[in-house]
Every structure is written in C-alpha cells, then in structure tokens.
Chains A and B, each alone.
Chain A
Amino acid sequence: MTQLQSHSSEPAWNLPELLVRVENDQELLRDLLHIFKEGFPPMLQSLQSALAASDWKNVVAISHKLHGMLSNLAATRAAAAAGELETFASTGDHGAIRGILARLEQETTNLGIEIDAYLNGVRA
C-alpha cells in the first residue's frame, strides 16, 4: 500500500472495539489482519478497474464486500467511504465517486500503516 497523508489525527481503526469483537484473541486478530493485508490490494485493484470501465454492477459488489470487511476491522472511516461508494454506484449518482474512491484509498493506506505497526509490535 502507498503511504499517503491522513486527513485525521484519529486512528484509522478502533483497536479496542476490534479486540472486544475477537474476544481478546490476539492470534485471531493477527490472522484477520493478515487476511486483510493479502486480500485488500487485489480487491482495490478490481474496484479501480471496474470504475475505469464504468462497470457499476461490479463497483457495487466490490464496494459492498469492502464495506463489510472494513466494518469488521472497526476501520470506521474507510468502511464509511466503501459504503458511500456502494450507495452512489447503485443509485447512479456517479459524479462524486472519484472523490470517494480517493478517500477510500487514503483511509486504507493509513489503515495499512497502522496494521503493519501493530503486527510489528509498535502501535502507531
């Protein structure tokens, strides 16, 4: 993931909430983060390709899946961006989509940095 400047000083994810969700199972948490790190880049790439091709059905499907994935990781702002993408793509209001995609990319970049820091044992 490319490193971009965050708009917010708040963490990209709510780690305490996520720890509650995994019932404080650190091993499970690490597994989930690895799944995200492996699964997210190809999904983002598919989303970008679908947008470039104006394949709105696919944009809706991928952004929906991303919304679920990011919500589960308590990455609230990134999940909100994915949710907006899904809504705008499905309602045919495509004007704002490029801006939302940029926000999603930035939020997930920040999330990636925080996840790496967590996995390396250093909280950002």
Chain B
Amino acid sequence: MKILIAEDDPISRKLLQKALERSGYDVVAVENGKQALEALCALDAPRLALLDWVMPELDGPAVCRAVRKRTEQTYSYMVLLTSKDTKEETVVGLESGADDYLTKPFNVEELRARLRVGERILLLEDRLVEARENMRFRATHDPLTSILNRGAILDLLNRELHRSQRENKSTAILLGDVDNFKRINDSLGHLVGDEVLAEIARRLLGAVRSYDFVGRYGGEEFLVVLNSCDPAHGPTRAETIRKSISKPIMTTKGPLTVSMSLGVLQSAEWGPRSLEELLHGVDAALYEAKAAGRDCSRVAKPPANSLLPAPPPELLRHTR
C-alpha cells in the first residue's frame, strides 16, 4: 500500500521511511506541507499519510483541513506526528481532520499498529463505497439487460434536451420495439425471450457512441438518446441500429432472427416542447413504422399546431 510521509526533519523522515518500507509500504516522502497536499490530491494519491505537525509552507493540521475539503476524493487516513502532546493540541489536531495522532519520537511497533488500524478503516470505506455504487447501479439499471432503466434514461433524456436547447443543438430520440416479441415468448419460452432482450441491449450499446444513452423503456421497448446529433443523421443512425438487430441472435434454443421497428425524433425540428410531447411524438412515429409492415423506421414530424392529436402512448402500445 502506498503511504505518504511529510516530514521536514531528514532524520525523522529517513527513520519513518525505513520502518515503513520494512513493513512493505510503498513510501512517498516529501519535505513540506505544500508538497504533501499536492501528493494527497494527485491521481493515484496515497491513501495513508503521516504528517508532521510543524512543517514549512503548510503545517500538518492545515494539510488535513485542505484534504478534508475535497469531498469528491476517496478517503485519506491521516496521522499527525508531533512532539506537541497536550490535550488541547490533540483536540486541535483531530479537529483539523486528522484520524490519529502520534507523538515523537515514535515507537516503531506502535506506529505500525496504528497504520494497520488505518488500513482496516480504508478497507471498510472501500466496502461501503462499493456497496453504495452497487445500490446506485441497481437503482438506475435494468437487471436483465444491465442498460439504463426507464427512470434513468428519461432523466438523462430530459437533461440532454435542456442542454441541446441551451447550446442550440439537436438531440435524436429513437424509440425501438422488437417486432412480434410475444411470439418468441409464447413459442420458445420467457428465458429465450430474455436472452433476446439482453442481446438486443448489447447490440444497441455497440451501435451508438460512448456518450450516447441506451435504456430499456418498457418490456421489449428500447429508448436511444443520441446527443448532439445532426438532424440529417438521425434516420441513418436508426437504420444502422435496425440492421444490427436483424442479424441472427444465438439463443439456447438455436439461432433466432428478430427485427425492430423504430420511431425517430430530432428535437431541433420540434422546438421547445415538453418531454411528454416529444415521447408522444416518437411513439407515434414508431406506430407508423409498425403500421408500415414493421422492421423499418419512421421519422416523427412535428404537428402544425402545438397539440398532438394522437392518442396517449399507452393506448398506441396496446395496438402493436
């Protein structure tokens, strides 16, 4: 494990460095508080730190305070080293954000034991962060396909629509529906249906740019958000996606050919509309693609007036 030693006294620094290297630490040694802060805020920074209290440039408590202000970073376990050993000074040191406190001259075994405490706390922090990230992923992703779930893709779409309006750009919204999916479930079983959905999600992800978004909108419906997409390119991208889906999918019951119908909407052509209106529009275009015989895409045209005459999306979905 990497550890930072910030100590201006060369004897103390050398003693610490040797003792910690013997314990298997990868030591980064610096001579003042400014260098310590730089090292602790760098990419791949040491997460364990031994900081002398009195140092040139910045003292140990000031380094602790500055590190604690950076909330976006992973936790650093910081131990203050000093000859100051009154209760008041201990309080000042710990209040500055230090995790522990060791008086000089230090006892090597005590130092190692205290650093092991630090390692245990960092390990615990790693586990907590991992658990939080897993929960966050589960809250925003579809468990079957691992792509964004409906809530998350709609949030991102809403954000992108606002951004494209601010920056005078266009966002393309693609709503795709797997054709005759019910037949797959009915004839080959739901497990094969799940395999098909998972593979379609993979293909959709492979067909878009790294900064585009793909989400599961409903049962066999997928929503694709293409950021900063030239209005002329939306239909072409929809066709590329449609063709990528039409290649045979290997399932446990053998290869299967499926198709997808898509509705395409370019936000720039629709002007400032609500998310609901745009979803309504792209859903109507998808309905047109279904009505045209499926396995094709249709572009949503904005209505002449601001109100769309079509029925609500839920009603359209029942007719497919």
Contact = CB atoms under 8 A, between A and B. Distances in A.
A72 B83 contact: no
A1 interface: no
A61 interface: yes
Contact of B10 (A21, A35, A83): A35
Interface stretch (B11-19, B188-196, B225-233, B249-257): B11-19
B126 interface: no
Interface of A: 21-23, 25, 28, 31-32, 35-36, 39, 61, 64-65, 67-69, 71-74, 83
29 contacts: A21-B15, A21-B105, A21-B108, A22-B15, A22-B18, A23-B18, A28-B15, A28-B18, A32-B11, A32-B14, A35-B10, A35-B11, A39-B10, A64-B83, A65-B9, A68-B9, A68-B11, A68-B12, A68-B83, A68-B104, A69-B11, A71-B104, A71-B105, A72-B9, A72-B12, A72-B15, A72-B104, A72-B105, A74-B105
Question: Lowest 7 A-B CB distances belong to which pairs?
Answer: A71-B105, A72-B11, A68-B9, A35-B10, A72-B105, A69-B11, A28-B18
B197 interface: no
A36 B12 CA distance: 11
B54 interface: yes
B181 to A, nearest CB: 70
A68 B11 CA distance: 9
Given A71-B105, A74-B105, A25 B54 contact: no
Given A67-B83, A68-B104, A72-B104, A28 B14 contact: yes
B108 A35 contact: no
Nearest to B107: A21
B11 A73 contact: yes
Given A25-B18, A28-B18, A69 B12 contact: yes
Contacts of B18: 22-23, 25, 28
Contacts of A28: 14-15, 18
A74 B18 CA distance: 17
A65 B8 contact: yes
Given A25-B18, A32-B14, A39-B11, 5 more contacts: A22-B18, A32-B15, A64-B83, A65-B8, A67-B83
B56 to A, nearest CB: 9
Contacts of A69: 9, 11-12
A73 B11 CA distance: 8
B136 interface: no
B22 A23 contact: yes
A39 B54 CA distance: 18
Contacts of B19: 23
